[in-house]
Chains A and B, each alone.
Chain A
């Protein structure tokens, strides 16, 4: 296979991106290589079924159940699979816990690796050049752009997802949430708090 084909085949498709996608979909459909109904199904899955609500359930359960949390931090993959969260881009899960001493934050500098079964498709900013370039070198300046400031005594550990291991941040349980049910707790868990660029919502 040629490594660097300077006559890239993609240049034969229309340059405008929406038309480029449409053209390729049409060609593949005509040849019986893709089923447009399968595309609808894939889109529906990631638009409506799989998203940060899954990760929020895991976090809420970890906040509520010490044995679950211990197992989650020990070996997350089978633990989240038991809750039904397994699949593409979530085959090898590691959960990392925020503490007063250490804040965790996840990036993929080389592409856009992200734990799909727990968080869905990554937001645009996670895939942006600015986040990929800066998160490893100046995480605190990046966090400030998300409105997050850490105490001076808290160190930052940035996880660059360079392999097939996918990381989920377990944020600290907010104050004033004693006695809340898992459902109530899950509603406080934001997507960004599980990437490490935000905190959970404050209990109202």
Chain B
């Protein structure tokens, strides 16, 4: 099983209300602050992108559903800071001390922001896992959609595409495996592909016979047909 964040295909969410193209980037000042605090805290180097995604996904289903987007970010961040020993429960209660913090030397300085954001964090790595599928090859995704290394752990195979037949559209190279990297089990890079699925393979009532959904899927999410 996956978690509450895995909502692709779900019914009942109602209409989309697109904002205008020129709407402010941040609807509220605190949205901007939440994004910036989260990014800056990431530069302390205590977790990676997969750990931080999983922190948001691990919010209880009730919290995940009632929290707005940036509330999820800030709450996931608070949890990560405590779980990784950066802050204590007492700190969050407002009662912590102001003694010099051992991670203070890693603080992202204003003058370093531009270069740090421009540097990015590529996910491609050399891998000794052999490429198993060629372009055009038919594959089927694993079922159930679940992390095979850690029960209830992070995975990037959505439920709606689990057990579905598709064909390899592109090979993206070899990338860090989130299922491993989110849990301190190493980067475990392996081949990753864009896999195309006919809409009729995923949905009971597809809108059009020629429509497709493409997902980026790691080799260990796939089996030959």
Residues of A at under 8 Å CB distance from B? 1-6, 8-10, 12-13, 17-18, 20-25, 27-28, 30-35, 37-43, 45-47, 51-52, 86-92, 94, 107, 109-112, 117, 120-121, 123-125, 127-134, 136-142, 145-146, 155-165, 190-192, 197
Contact = CB atoms under 8 A, between A and B. Distances in A.
A133 B161 CA distance: 13
Contacts of B33: 21-22, 25, 39, 43
A148 B22 CA distance: 19
A133 B35 contact: no
Contact size class for B? 35 or more
A27 B39 CA distance: 16
Contact of B216 (A8, A165, A191): A165
A133 B18 contact: no
Contacts, number: 314
B152 to A, nearest CB: 6
A18 B68 CA distance: 12
B41 interface: yes
A145 B18 contact: yes
Nearest to B18: A125
Nearest to B158: A109
Closest 10 CB pairs of A and B: A109-B8, A155-B210, A163-B216, A32-B104, A10-B75, A37-B110, A39-B36, A164-B123, A9-B82, A10-B78
B214 A158 contact: yes
Interface string B53-84: 10010111001000011110011111101111
A157 B195 CA distance: 12
B107 A158 contact: no
